[in-house]
Structure 1
Amino acid sequence: MKHFYRAIGILGFVTILGGISPAIRAESAPILIVQNSAEDLFNSALAKSEAGDIQGAIADYTEAIRLNPNYAKAYNKRGIIHGRNLKDYPAAKADFDRAIEINPNYGDAYYNRARVREFLEDKDGAIADYHKAAELYQKDGNTNDYQDAIKHLEMLQE
């Protein structure tokens, strides 16, 4: 009988009509707290970006960065959205600057910052970044990206 009362206390009081009393149900219902990791938010942002939910992607990248302030990939991806989708080149550059500050060997961040510097008419900065990106791509054996960075570098130097 003791277990019966414990079960009623946990499950709530069943009324004559067969429902659970709302007051008791509210007290006894478990509260589910969902916490996303920075990586979960990063992946969510990628999916949102691909689906065209630009503001949702930015929100998720921003939250991932809040959870992990040294998440260079999240800064880089958010910078891409700021530049490509929103044409907010100063915000994009700030994100690429931070990604490079976190990881000075991040070729994609140098390449992306070079693209933004072109839009900002900072030719010398773009040349320096394409050069650094090419150097890092070559070091990593990333032939396609190396050749792309060299192509952009040569176009700027003409």
Structure 2
Amino acid sequence: MVDQSPILRTGTAADLDSLEAIETAAFQSDRLSRRSLKRHLANRSARLVVAEDDGVIAGYALILTRRTSPLARLHSIAVGPGHAGRGIGGLLLAAAEHAARHAGKAGLRLEVRPDNPRAIGLYERRGYQRTGVRPAFYADGAPALLYRRAFGEDALPASSPIAA
């Protein structure tokens, strides 16, 4: 049997149950509600990309854009149980970067918990620079580390990693 990479595609309302399950498994607090996920799926300034592996939603990335901001925001990225350690987070991050660039943004910014070394390592390996700290950002009072990456000529491939 050949191990194939997950398919990256735009999320749909049919993915809500899976997205909600991933949220519940991935985050102890500050979870997106089903209602919020549904709203983001319909929002023209949001892009929700899912990684589908053998018919199962393995993870997602939610990117927000504002007309008035030169940067897009990676609101959330999560990989479901049983799918961690397979490179899906990196694929989703690349898809988020592509979506931001496609939206005409000069870069991507994000917040991450300081107690999430796996995510911090991914962002730093991908060229994100720490730009500050936002105290008491999360519901439990934890601060957020602020990161950003500007897109250069070599930042992303020309072709989209996201299936229609």
TM-score of the aligned structures, taking structure 1 as reference length: 0.28
Structure number having the greater strand percentage: 2
Q: Which one has the largest radius of gyration?
A: 1
More helix by share: 1
Using CA pairs under 8 Å that are at least 6 residues apart, name the structure with larger relative contact order, 1 or 2.
Answer: 2
TM-score by length of 2: 0.27
